[in-house]
Amino acid sequence: MGREKDLSGLQNEAKVRLCPDCKNEEIEHRNGEFFCKKCGLVIDE
Ligand SMILES: [Zn+2]
């Protein structure tokens, strides 16, 4: 109980995401998917 998970260095990378369509940097993360806040394009990895 109360054990801390150490995931540092594995999935903690701050990636800069860009919309491939409109080059917008405001990418929203929802339901396990990334999508552009501007044009709504879903960005698949
Ligand atoms: Zn876009």
Distance 24 CA to ligand 1 centre (A): 5
Per-residue pLDDT reduced to its tens digit, 1-45 = 667 766 555 555 566 788 999 999 999 998 999 999 999 999 886
- Number of domains into which the chain is organized: 1
Domain assignment present for residue 40? The answer is yes
Residue 11 counted as domain residue: no
> Which residues contact residue 28 at a Cβ distance below 8 angstroms, ignoring those fewer than 6 apart?
34, 35, 36, 37
pLDDT on residue 10: 52
Look at residue 1 and tell me if it is in a domain.
no
- The residue with tokens 């879903």 is 42
Distance 14 CA to ligand 1 centre (A): 19
Predicted pLDDT at 16: 72
Residue 4 lies in a domain: no
CA atoms in the 13 A half-sphere facing the CB of 23: 0
CA distance 29 to 43: 10
Q: Report yes or no on whether pTM surpasses 0.75.
A: no
At residue 3, the pLDDT reads 72
How many whole angstroms from 42 Cα to the centroid of ligand 1? 9
